[in-house]
Structure 1
Amino acid sequence: MAGTGTAADVPEIDLTGAEVLRDPVAAYGAARERGPVVRITAPGMPPMWALTRHADAKAMLGDHRFAIGADSFMRPDVSADLLPYLRTMSEMPAAEHTRLRKLVAPAFTVRRAADFRPRVEPIVDRLLDGLAEQAARAADGTVDLLPHFARPLPMDVICELVGIPEADRPRWREYGAAVAAGHGQGFADAVPGIIDGARAAVARRRAEPADDLLGGLIRAQADDGDRLSDTEMAAMVWQLVLSGQTPTNLIANAVAALLTRPDQLVALRADPALLPGAVEELVRWCGPGMLTIPRRAREDVELHGVRVPAGEPVVAVIAAANRDPRAFAEPDRLDVRRRPGQAAHLGFAHGPHFCLGAALARMQTEVALGALLRRFPGLALAVPPERVRPAPDPGTLRTAEVPVRL
């Protein structure tokens, strides 16, 4: 249905603007209150339509008229033989996407995440041992939580999930750091090693069944009567590596948020049973994903009277939607006691492309925060709170460092 509005009538956000780079959450929130539809621009990329309010963002993410495709993703510059492994499930046609998601979903359920928890806990404990050693060696007792805990944890968990041998894991940590750093040459250089390691892991697990993620996927194939190809299986490992870095920034953001809000930290320490709900609140309040993967309009669509022509990109502004006062009471306040309301946060998206690994990310974050707070009751920032600020990144909410004293 054609709308009467035009791009000229819509507020615009320049992703390179000083306000966005200084405080993207505040900038996106201000845009939300100017209007439900905004236009996002940045040098070197086409303009995108963006939905800023919770109800609209959620509706778009579940609307079949908006589709993810190959052009929704930035591809690293790699050799042609690796490209089939970089094709994500999200960009596949609906029937193919549904088939693959049905095959792999049993390995990513809440129950499977809970079953895997006892294997994550010793990984967390081992990293906390290393964190304590780093702090003991530092002259002032200060240690940065990001490189010594939050950053290595997700890749160590992924290696455990897919059965990467211990001897290979230091190299995979380097891959994880390159992926988390973004789309640069280091990212592209890491891809061949990740794909080679994924192919080797798939071959090893077919020959030697085990109770890990690949073993679960192989068993799910047998139970379902369908079969993932080796390429699809290795591609799943690649996608797990790519998306599995989310807890790095979520854990770092969460610790920084708690340490700069003593009342919330005290509440969580006093009642550890609050932790599962606190993780949900932290995803809402400081989750790293601020913009969704772009969708393309399959047809001309009207969004609040603005005509979006077929083929143009549309995103949901998660950072704005998750603090929409129309959906959440006192949305700018972090509240670890917040009870679930009618609206759920969109930190893991919504609809057919809801994050497959959400249960794993939640479990991993809960284990990490719980162990950190138990192990170090005197945990505190080693710098003034104003020093712990978001990096100038309009797409990902992340802190550059989290210096603490244990």
Structure 2
Amino acid sequence: MATESLDLPDVMSDAIMKDPYHGAGLLREQAPVVRGTLMGAVPVWYVTRYEEVMTVLGDRRFVSNIASVSGSQGEDARTQMAERLGVPPEDYPYLANGLLGQDAPDHSRLRKLVMRGFTVRRITELRPRLEEIAESLIDAFDGSSQVDLIAHFAYPLPLTVICELMGIPESDHADWHAWSSGLASLEPGVMPHALHDMVVGVRELIERRRNSPAEDLLTTLITTHDEDGDRLSVDELITFVITLMTAGHEPSAHALGNSIAELLTHPDQLARLKGESALWQTAVEELVRRCGPTQVSVPRYAAVDIELGGVRIRAGDVVQPMLTAGNYDPRRYTDPERFDVGRRMKAPGHGHLGFGHGPHYCLGAYLAKLQLGIALPALFRRFPRLTLAVDAADLPWQKLPGLRRLAELPVELAPAAR
């Protein structure tokens, strides 16, 4: 790996967004902790190697809320980002006060309450419906020779699943698609309006569910309480629904799109899976490690002065773990650039950083992997001769900060035999 340095790197810069794997690799091989900026303005420490990323994500001396830093006068990095994007102050809390922005004991309280409605058992019960949705979307391809799998498979699958889980009527699915896409765009003219419309939509949905309870997750969240009678407030409900809907739709959609593209550009690995279906379980983990859409974790703050990777980080400093850099770290993985659907990764966790680590480990990780483990085999069973409709070099990757995702994934469903 080259060791050229990047002057004050920013993961939101064109240089890194154009090729995040290469850019993250340059930083990782430069140092485990690199000084940079966030949105070209906020000073930040980028953490680039697996061991150090794990430390930041799992060590309680790194916190998610600037208010957890004793005596700190610093401004929350997400608030600064929101201001630069034009988010109205009244909507800040819905970005900053979710699970990802809280520390113990508030984080522990919120996670305990929402987990009561988001158990592995409840998600496992979704398997038959997941299979039905996937097959229905694939059925719609019959008679077509070419399909954009982002628009017609990767996007609608997780959107339908998360909307049905939450109890959002089908007539509102298009709105949620537009809102979550707008929020992920981080465009000043789009993102603030999408967030505001989402807040209004969730508030209305909560009122409907209070008046007409249903067998869905939102009703469960509205009625759930702990042994002391503690419940989620309306603002906490709104914040969690927004977090779950955006985290459960956009990343899952692009994890699926990225995975399909990865398999189609590695026909040897796809052939292994077609010949040995038991490998799909390890393949899903390898795909999340290799081409997960989330490149960086949300910012953390040093709660105390601490040394990390040979660098002295001061209390209140912003720290940004780079998940992609850690997932390709040769100090952790043998031949990390090689795609291997049979790769066995070591603990902790699932052996990669695709869903984070520690107290903020992704709440929807099991659902995301279940979707991949159902959708990918179903697609390639139905269309075993599926191929890209464009050269791999011409796939339209979007330039979005901290994300790796395709705008389109055009494929030939049944190409002529050669």
Pick the TM interval, shorter chain: 0.7 to 0.9
- The alpha-carbon deviation at position 293 of structure 1 amounts to 0.8
Q: Among 404, 407, 412, which residue is 1:405 paired with?
A: 412
- The alpha-carbon deviation at position 118 of structure 1 amounts to 2.2
The corresponding residue for 1:345 is 352
Structure 2 counterpart of 1:239, one-letter code: T
The corresponding residue for 1:58 is 54
Contact 1:40-1:50 within 8 A present in 2 as well? yes
- The alpha-carbon deviation at position 357 of structure 1 amounts to 1.4
Structure 1 counterpart of 2:186, one-letter code: G
Q: Does 1:156 align with 2:152?
A: no
Give deviations 1:218-270, integer Å, cap 9, x for gaps. Answer: 45426673211232222211111221221121111111100000011111222
- The alpha-carbon deviation at position 391 of structure 1 amounts to 3.2
- The alpha-carbon deviation at position 66 of structure 1 amounts to 1.4
Which whole-Å CA distance do the structure 1 matches of 2:178 and 2:12 have between them?
29
Contact 2:185-2:400 within 8 A present in 1 as well? no
The corresponding residue for 2:72 is none
Structure 1 counterpart of 2:398, one-letter code: A
Q: Does 1:296 align with 2:301?
A: yes
The corresponding residue for 2:73 is none
DSSP 3-state at the match of 1:347: coil
With over 3 angstroms needed to count, the CA separation of the structure-2 counterparts of 1:42 and 1:104, relative to structure 1, is: closer
Contact 1:156-1:173 within 8 A present in 2 as well? no
Q: Among 224, 231, 235, which residue is 2:235 paired with?
A: 231
Q: Does 1:142 align with 2:164?
A: no
Deviates more, 1:99-108 or 1:390-399: 390-399
Q: CA RMSD in A?
A: 2.6
Q: Does 1:94 align with 2:101?
A: no
The corresponding residue for 1:383 is 390
Which whole-Å CA distance do the structure 2 matches of 1:390 and 1:169 have between them?
25
- The alpha-carbon deviation at position 18 of structure 1 amounts to 6.3
Which whole-Å CA distance do the structure 2 matches of 1:211 and 1:16 have between them?
41
Give deviations 1:10-44, integer Å, cap 9, x for gaps. Answer: 98535466652432102212321222111233663
The corresponding residue for 1:252 is 257
Structure 2 counterpart of 1:102, one-letter code: K
With over 3 angstroms needed to count, the CA separation of the structure-2 counterparts of 1:176 and 1:148, relative to structure 1, is: farther
- The alpha-carbon deviation at position 205 of structure 1 amounts to 3.2
The corresponding residue for 2:403 is 396
TM-score where L is the length of structure 1: 0.88
Paired residue total = 392
Alignment of 1:77-92 (within 5 A): 77-79=86-88, 81-86=90-95, 87-92=97-102
With over 3 angstroms needed to count, the CA separation of the structure-2 counterparts of 1:43 and 1:164, relative to structure 1, is: closer
Deviates more, 1:383-392 or 1:90-99: 383-392
Which whole-Å CA distance do the structure 1 matches of 2:205 and 2:401 have between them?
35
With over 3 angstroms needed to count, the CA separation of the structure-2 counterparts of 1:361 and 1:342, relative to structure 1, is: closer
Deviates more, 1:33-42 or 1:355-364: 33-42
With over 3 angstroms needed to count, the CA separation of the structure-2 counterparts of 1:209 and 1:85, relative to structure 1, is: same
With over 3 angstroms needed to count, the CA separation of the structure-2 counterparts of 1:24 and 1:192, relative to structure 1, is: closer
Runs (4 or more) in structure 1 with deviation over 6 Å come to none
The corresponding residue for 2:376 is 369
The corresponding residue for 1:313 is 318
Identity of aligned residues (%): 44
Contact 1:10-1:39 within 8 A present in 2 as well? no
The corresponding residue for 2:31 is 35
- The alpha-carbon deviation at position 162 of structure 1 amounts to 1.0
Contact 1:85-1:235 within 8 A present in 2 as well? yes
With over 3 angstroms needed to count, the CA separation of the structure-2 counterparts of 1:90 and 1:403, relative to structure 1, is: same
Which whole-Å CA distance do the structure 2 matches of 1:256 and 1:324 have between them?
22
Unaligned runs of 5+ in 2: 67-75, 414-418
DSSP 3-state at the match of 2:125: helix
The corresponding residue for 2:125 is 115
Which whole-Å CA distance do the structure 2 matches of 1:25 and 1:224 have between them?
47
Which whole-Å CA distance do the structure 1 matches of 2:188 and 2:155 have between them?
18
Instruction: Answer 1 or 2: higher relative contact order, Cα 8 Å, separation at least 6.
Output: 1
Which whole-Å CA distance do the structure 2 matches of 1:178 and 1:389 have between them?
18
**Which protein is richer in helix relative to its size?**
1
Structure 1 counterpart of 2:234, one-letter code: D
TM-score where L is the length of structure 2: 0.85
With over 3 angstroms needed to count, the CA separation of the structure-2 counterparts of 1:177 and 1:129, relative to structure 1, is: farther
- The alpha-carbon deviation at position 171 of structure 1 amounts to 2.3
DSSP 3-state at the match of 1:13: coil
Give deviations 1:337-367, integer Å, cap 9, x for gaps. Answer: 1123245101111111111111121112222
Contact 2:286-2:339 within 8 A present in 1 as well? yes
Q: Among 138, 149, 171, which residue is 1:128 paired with?
A: 138
Contact 2:301-2:315 within 8 A present in 1 as well? yes
Structure 2 counterpart of 1:202, one-letter code: I
Which whole-Å CA distance do the structure 1 matches of 2:293 and 2:376 have between them?
16
Contact 1:103-1:224 within 8 A present in 2 as well? no
